[in-house]
Amino acid sequence: MAKREEAPASHSKALLVNGTLFAFRGYGMGNCRADVGTMMKRTNLARHSGNKAVASCTALLLLACSLPVSAATESAEAIHATVTRFVRNHLPANISNAKIHVDGPAPGLRFPACDHLQLGFFGYSNPYGNQTVTVSCSSPSPWRLYLPVQLAINQNVVVAARPLSADRVLSAADLSVVQRDTNGLGGNALSNPQQAIGQVLRFGTLAGQPITTSMLNAPEVVRAGEQVTLYAEGDGIRIATIANAIENGRPGQAILVRNVQSGRVIRGTVTANGSVVVPF
């Protein structure tokens, strides 16, 4: 829970209505009345234009002016620190040197005191990149903040040691390891060259370009024209025969093969050892 503080008259007040946070500077009652007068003029115009937001904001400003300046509040600095700890505690275990930048709240702002601050990720939580954290309070006065968070994560990244062409089977000489910010790589960056050695590049890369899992295919273990062992499996029964591969295939890929005995063309799934399995 963020630390409560007593808000002096010169600090801002913030209120949430219909999910929108409004912040007001506490200049003192004289300036506050002047602001209200300005808003009242806008309200009169709004009545003719149908703009209800201005009228609502005027009511908020009147309410903000009536709040006691000595009321307990949550400071922007305390909320900022709480969000930073929340994000760091949710980083993956392999990330220890992330730089966390929380965008807001503005220094000096004060928010209504909260019995228990609730924090959560808004939308998709990407532990390797930018995200948005929700800070909300349900009592005694409900309010909510959405704070953007940027992450800079420097860690080992496997990159191409030189320009590489598509369909190349990677070797240790093709790769190097550098320290780089992985924000934007979506957690797909490789940290160890062994993860890429023997894999096949799906498309060409430039020297220094990070190698990600989405750029790699497993090597082909079946070639068109080769004979493979064809297994028919089902109900605890496994029958083996010989087939001719019609297509190349990688582990997990479905290819066409021709049963040597029957001449029938069927589609089966390639296994890691180069055989083909057909369910029945």
Q: What pLDDT digit, counting tens, does each position of 173-229 carry?
A: 999 999 888 776 766 889 899 999 999 999 999 999 999 999 999 999 999 999 999
Under 8 Å CB-to-CB from 235, ≥6 apart: which residues?
A: none
Q: Terminal CA-to-CA distance of the chain, rounded, Å?
A: 60
pTM surpassing 0.75? no
Please determine, for residue 15, whether its predicted confidence score (pLDDT) is greater than 50: no
> Do β-strands 200-201 and 216-217 pair in parallel, antiparallel, or remain unpaired?
antiparallel
Per DSSP, 168 falls in state P
| Residue 278 near residue 268, CB atoms below 8 Å | yes
Does 2.40.128.50 match the CATH number of domain 154-217?
Answer: no
Question: Which own/partner contact pairs does 252-256 have at CB distance under 8 Å and 24+ positions apart?
Answer: 252/218, 255/222
Per-residue pLDDT of 240-280, as tens digits, reads: 999 999 999 999 999 999 999 999 999 999 999 999 999 98
| Residue 276 near residue 228, CB atoms below 8 Å | yes
Residue 11 has a pLDDT of: 41
Query: What distance in Å separates the CA atoms of residue 163 and residue 144, rounded to the nearest whole number?
Result: 49
Torsion of CA 143, 19, 118, 71, to 10 degrees: -10
CATH for 227-279?
2.30.30.760
